[in-house]
Amino acid sequence: MGPPDHLARRLLLRRLVAIGTFWIVQGALGWVLAVFWIVSSMSDDPVGAIRLEEVRATLVSPEALRWWATWYPVYLLAQALFMLPMLGPVPIRQKGPPAILSLAVAGFAMGGLLAALLFAVLGAVMALGRDLETDHFWIVFWSFIGAGWILSTSLLLSFSRNRSRDVVTSRLASTLFLGSLVEIAAILPLDVMVRRRTDCYCGTGTYVSLSILGVVGGFALGPMLYAIPLARRRRRWLECRCEVCGYDMRDTPQASRCPECGSGWLR
């Protein structure tokens, strides 16, 4: 038996307010960090010294603000689709939010991680990394991400079959965030070398790589944090229900199998 309707509505409202507040803070912080990152790429200093007057000018630039206002809603939509299975614990056999949308978004993010790694290598050892501001760059860029997207989504669909959707999504969020951190740590030494050897850092492979990793890491951070209270709710939910079909086991707590679906229950 679930909570009364008015309590359920209040709980839903609190969750929506919390998510909305996080998205506002995320947007403001992301905008400031993006401006600092872009300005650092245009610095004449080999270590990317930042001029605060350029930062202030970019923060209030109408063109830059229009760019952010266009792409941040797309970013939020992808984040919302990814988090759909995390709305609450759902039995494995019960229909819930379409997990394929979440897995497709996760596959796209994993494709970004693969593309970031490849661009870092290309940027360090090939001439492509010295001149990426061409039409050829966009072909390579989307080819890397597209190939990684298809491969990752196919693997994720196979991996998530017969598994709890909310658990799979929570693990994917953690994997994406940690994967971004690991790649950033691996690419930074290459980035320092490239910064010192190029006159146009914004067109290098390592800059593109770190930009992608920053977006993917920030994208996964929100769902990863949301997964913490979700895990606590899931543990409470599983104390008296079958994970497979959701049958209430409070009347038969010592049964070794669920009387509804026959799955093993005692853990």
Task: Report pLDDT digits (tens) over 127-143.
Answer: 444 555 555 667 777 88
Mean pLDDT (the chain) is: 78
> What's this model's pTM, rounded to 2 decimal places?
0.77
Q: Report the pLDDT value the prediction gives residue 246, as an integer from 0 to 100.
A: 63
For residue range 64-117, what is the model confidence (pLDDT) as tens digits? Answer: 899 999 999 999 999 988 988 777 656 555 555 567 888 899 999 999 998 898
Query: What are the backbone dihedrals phi and psi of residue 98, each rounded to the nearest 5 degrees, phi first?
Result: -60, 110
Number of neighbours of residue 215 by Cβ within 10 angstroms: 18
Query: What are the backbone dihedrals phi and psi of residue 241, each rounded to the nearest 5 degrees, phi first?
Result: -135, 155
DSSP state of 127: G
What percent of the chain has pLDDT above 90? Answer: 20
Q: Report the pLDDT value the prediction gives residue 24, as an integer from 0 to 100.
A: 92
Q: Report the pLDDT value the prediction gives residue 225, as an integer from 0 to 100.
A: 85
Q: Report the pLDDT value the prediction gives residue 191, as an integer from 0 to 100.
A: 83
For residue range 10-64, what is the model confidence (pLDDT) as tens digits? Answer: 777 877 788 888 889 999 999 999 988 888 877 655 445 567 788 888 888 898 8
